Each structure stands twice: as structure tokens, then as C-alpha cells.
Amino acid sequence: MRRLTAALALAGALAAAAPLAAQPLDPAAGEALSTTLKMLLDPTLRSAAIAGNPQAGAADQQIRSLTGSDALTQELFALAADVFQELTQASGGDATKMAQSLDAARTDPAAFAAMLSPQTLERLRQLSVKISDQRR
């Protein structure tokens, strides 16, 4: 969960910006979500964004040291994109609610994980196993 929290923190730095029901996004929030998801999924866009943000660079280095491979790093960012999308939808795009959820995840990752869809939670479990297996 720390790895996912680090990836989400990086997403928040780059975007500068109990389960909840999905809420409709206003056009600005929808566009911000789309831009953030593209950046998370595209290594070239992500690298450019990281280069301009020392805080993001430090988070990226931490993620890379934890995953140990480019493939797992990319998989982690893809998972982070899914989580970020779920978080954005659940908060209706409210940046304050999103930040509060991420802050709460630092102290109670299980509660944060409980808000994820079953599919995303399963992907998180699978990725955690892959990262753990690679580090052995």
C-alpha cells in the first residue's frame, strides 16, 4: 500500500491538485482527470512532468527503488491511474476531498483500500505479490 500511496502522491504533485458513490464531474474536473491519467500512463509525459518538479522526482526515485524494474514501475503507475480515477469519481472531482482521502490513507491504508473497486483491489494484491517476488 505504501507503493500505491507514493504513486498517488506523485500523481497529486504532478497534477497539483467508507466507500463513496461515484459523482459526476464538472468539465474542468473531467479535463484535469483526463490529463492526469494520460500523464500517469505515458512514460514520456510523466518524465517531462517529473523533470519540472523536484518533489515529483524524489517520489519517482522512491517508486523505482521499490519496484525494481521499468515494467513493474509502469504497472504501478497504471494501477495508480485506476485508483486516481476512482478517487476522483468518488469525490466528484473535489480536490479537498481527494487530498483528505490521501492523507487518511497514510495512517489507515486498509480503510483507503476498502473504498477501491474489487477489480482494482485485486490488481493491487497481484502487483504487491509481483513486487515482493522480484525483491527476493
> Could you give the number of structural domains in the chain?
1
Residue 113: which domain range? 2-15+23-135
E strands, the chain, are: none
In this structure, are residues 131 and 3 in contact, taking their beta carbons and an 8 Å threshold?
A: yes
**pLDDT by position in tens, the chain (length 136):** 555 555 555 555 544 333 344 567 888 888 888 998 999 999 999 999 899 888 989 999 999 998 999 999 999 999 999 999 999 988 888 889 999 999 998 899 888 888 899 999 999 999 999 988 886 6
Question: How many whole angstroms separate alpha carbon 133 and alpha carbon 81?
Answer: 23
